[in-house]
Amino acid sequence: MWRRHPWLAWSEIPRRESKQLSYQPVRSLALNPRTALQCRAVLLFDIDGVIRDVGGSYRRAIVETVHHYSGLRPEPAAIDALKAEGCWNNDWHASLELLRRAGLGGAGGPPLPPFEALVAVFNGFYFGGDPEGDPAAWRGFIGSEPLLVERAFFEALSAASIAWGFVSGAEPPSARFVLRQRLGLSDPPMIAMGEAPDKPDPTGFLRLAADLIGMPLGPDAVPVAYLGDTVADVLTVKRARERLPQQRFLSLAVAPPHLQAPDAAERRAAYEAQLLQAGADRVIPETARVLEALETALAL
Ligand SMILES: [Mg+2]
């Protein structure tokens, strides 16, 4: 039987959740992400750009936060270029870095805002309300995040004996909101911001994978795959491999939705080339096609 481990640091979360989410549907037996020893593989997901389109939410919050302090709105390509560096997974740090590159904090220029103040401005745009409060009261960009998959997608994974879960750099209230309230997953295995070191550190990824398999990773464990949309996600798998060379890992990658538009074909090709260059084993056309890519890889 799967048990929560103390190092998941979830000790405070259930109390808040039980108040907010008590009306959630009970998970059906068909949708059990923890298939323990019977699973053929573990598939972990990044959330932003993979499970939900954050072009109009997190990415827009970066743009508006930078504009708030500098009067400039960075182009999507500038955010992509920053993300391609592999170390700007945290959108607060990414916003601050864009401000630094716009000249704030330099000699004779305007100062950089204090980090805490920037976080408050960013969260005002993104949540538009208390992140720890009732999601029904949120008025920010989080309210307009198209989903890239539906609940049936996870039912298909479970039916194929694939254990699944989420490793995300999003704040826990935001990750819980999309998984539980939007997708109707009642108890999703998840590691979010602050529950493990930021990606590309693989600690959280490795911890959740071992937890889902129910045994230590290594030569006897089933393959562990990760689907992400940034270089940091690919590097997370690469570093996991360095830590556990005998465990089989698979790095799957997908271009984020804003690059999937027909008029973005050229930028998408360059972006996908960066993912492969960083070490992705396979780039897939969209999240919904991940099971077929995983089946192909498992058959090899
Ligand atoms: Mg992402």
Average model confidence (pLDDT) across the chain: 89
Distance 46 CA to ligand 1 centre (A): 6
- Using DSSP's 3-state secondary structure scheme, residue 41 falls into strand
Under 8 Å between Cβ of 233 and 266: no
Residue 109's pLDDT band (boundaries 50, 70, 90)?
confident
Owner of token pair 């400039």: 72
Distance 89 CA to ligand 1 centre (A): 8
Ranking 31-40, 91-100, 139-148, 256-265 by mean pLDDT, the lowest is 31-40
Distance 47 CA to ligand 1 centre (A): 6
Ranking 33-37, 84-88, 230-234, 267-271 by mean pLDDT, the lowest is 33-37
| pLDDT of the residue at 3 | 38
Q: What is the pLDDT of residues 14-37, one digit of tens each?
A: 333 333 333 333 333 345 666 545
Q: Which CATH superfamily hosts domain 27-54+145-299?
A: HAD superfamily/HAD-like (3.40.50.1000)
Q: Tell me the angle at which helices 76-83 and 265-278 cross, rounded to the nearest 10 degrees.
A: 10
Determine the length of the chain: 300
Ranking 10-24, 67-81, 193-207, 227-241 by mean pLDDT, the lowest is 10-24
Strands (E), the chain: 41-45, 162-167, 190-191, 224-228, 249-254, 282-284
Distance 66 CA to ligand 1 centre (A): 20
| pLDDT of the residue at 35 | 52
Distance 184 CA to ligand 1 centre (A): 20
Question: Tell me, what amino acid is at 40?
Answer: R
| pLDDT of the residue at 12 | 35
By CB neighbour count within 10 A (0-12 exposed, 13-18 middle, 19+ buried), where does 256 fall? buried
What is the rounded average pLDDT of the residues 244-265?
A: 96
| pLDDT of the residue at 38 | 80
| Token output for 251 | 């790095």
Under 8 Å between Cβ of 192 and 71: no
5 has pLDDT over 80: no
Task: Name the nearest CA neighbour of 171 among 234, 206, 119, 242.
Answer: 119
Distance 170 CA to ligand 1 centre (A): 9
The residues spanned by each domain of the chain are 27-54+145-299, 58-143
Distance 230 CA to ligand 1 centre (A): 6
Distance 198 CA to ligand 1 centre (A): 12
Residue 113: CB partners within 8 Å, gap ≥ 6? 69, 96, 99, 104, 121
- Before 200, cis peptide (omega within 30)? yes
How far is the C-alpha of 243 from the C-alpha of 17, rounded, in Å?
A: 34
Residue 133's pLDDT band (boundaries 50, 70, 90)?
very high
How far is the C-alpha of 196 from the C-alpha of 8, rounded, in Å?
A: 8
Distance 108 CA to ligand 1 centre (A): 35
Task: Name the nearest CA neighbour of 43 among 241, 222, 258, 254.
Answer: 222
Ranking 21-30, 36-45, 83-92, 291-300 by mean pLDDT, the lowest is 21-30
Residue 107's pLDDT band (boundaries 50, 70, 90)?
confident
Write the Ramachandran bin of 49: left for phi over 0, alpha for psi from -120 to 50, otherwise beta: left
Distance 102 CA to ligand 1 centre (A): 24
Distance 228 CA to ligand 1 centre (A): 6
| Token output for 163 | 């254990």
103 has pLDDT over 90: yes
